[in-house]
Amino acid sequence: MHDASSLPRPGTDPALPVGSRSPLGGQRPEGAWGPVIRQHLIDPEICIRCNTCEATCPVGAVTHDDRNYVVDAAKCNLCMACIPPCPTGSIDNWRVMPRVRAYTVAEQLGWDELPAEWSAEQLAAEGVVACSEVQTEAASSAQSGAAEATAVIAFGAGAPAAPVAYSATLPPWSAAHAYTNLYGPKAAENSITATVAGNVRVTQVGREYDTHHIVLDFGAMPFPLLEGQSIAIVPPGLDAHGRPHHARQYSIASPRNGERPGYNNASLTVKRVLQDHHGQPVRGVASNYLCDLKRGDTVQVIGPFGTSFLMPNHPKSHIVMICTGTGSAPMRAMTEWRRRLRASGKFESGKLMLFFGARTQEELPYFGPLQNLP
């Protein structure tokens, strides 16, 4: 659930000139926000660089380098399309500041943490005298504004506002409760240590497609997971700039009761990355680190993430799944959970249909087990 107070006023766009039309509908009132912008920013401490925001943004306002994902204030139209899919909430950050001092893309790419909010004194020094009025106006309209913004985004200007807070896509009504962000930069503990209980290659040796099934054991520390959720691995060492590597996100490939039932463990499906999208040789930092792990090694984990892409608990629900390659990880978790329910006698006729793609059959992880869907 995202804080409604982080949303801009519906019907207005602080990045547009006074009197211009907002992409959310309606005209920006004369004098509203004045020379102030409520700038959309991404928290680099929480972001797990999953690329969801950039892939979702319809105007190309989100971009990235090898370190950070950032929002270009000159392009962002506050459509909010990037907010719901973000698994960590890192995308949902805002700073009230002078329009002429809006943070540039270059500045954001160099951040390791978000800058502090501008104080009323700092804003006044920049000639912004209505800072308190802006903040008060934003706060007072937050509750109703969130609902109005949701209605406008979903149904167009003039649509009636439902009395709900702006939030991510809802999970299936019967899905179990998902715990999120138990470990991470802004949590009580930065990470949890997991021990490698197994690391098995699940594609044929000698083939280009090197995919591993890795089992992580969390010992006595609680780490509840559901099918469809993900975790992030923090690779050791420093990047080319001398800073710690950022975490990489991986979907859970095991059911909620563990890779081994009744044990506090989970599994991942990891493809070793040896070339970039242009076919140039490159060694993926996290994928090679994980694929080379030995039994007994330890890794640092943050998360879990994800509250919407969850499996329905209703025993008669039908599920259609579409994936390729390592995208089979959450599908493997869901089919295995259904298989265990069927074996325990708690299964009631719900069917699964899986569309599973790859260039060759040898590149499909879990090909044998996934042929037998309940």
CATH of domain 4-155: 3.30.70.20
210: left (phi over 0), alpha (psi -120 to 50) or beta: beta
- Write down the pTM of the prediction: 0.71
Task: List the chain domain ranges.
Answer: 4-155, 192-370
Q: What is the pLDDT of residue 183?
A: 94
3-state secondary structure of 288: helix
Pairing of strands 93-98, 36-41: antiparallel
pLDDT of 163 strictly over 70: no
Amino acid in position 177: H
Paired with 353 in beta bridges are 320
Instruction: Determine the topology of domain 192-370 in CATH.
Output: Elongation Factor Tu (Ef-tu); domain 3 (2.40.30)
What percent of the chain has a predicted confidence (pLDDT) above 70?
Answer: 76
* CATH topology agreement for domains 4-155 and 192-370: no
3-state secondary structure of 150: helix
Read off the pLDDT of residues 266-296 as tens digits, 9 standing for 90 and up. 999 999 988 887 888 888 999 999 999 999 9
Give me the phi and psi of 318, to 5 degrees please.
-100, 140
For residue 83, what are its two tokens? 């907010």
Q: How far is CA 31 from the centre of its chain?
A: 36
3-state secondary structure of 106: helix
Q: Please, what is the end-to-end C-alpha distance for the chain in angstroms?
A: 33
Read off the pLDDT of residues 294-345 as tens digits, 9 standing for 90 and up. 999 999 999 999 888 999 988 788 999 998 876 889 999 999 998 888 888 7
For residue 134, what are its two tokens? 């802006």
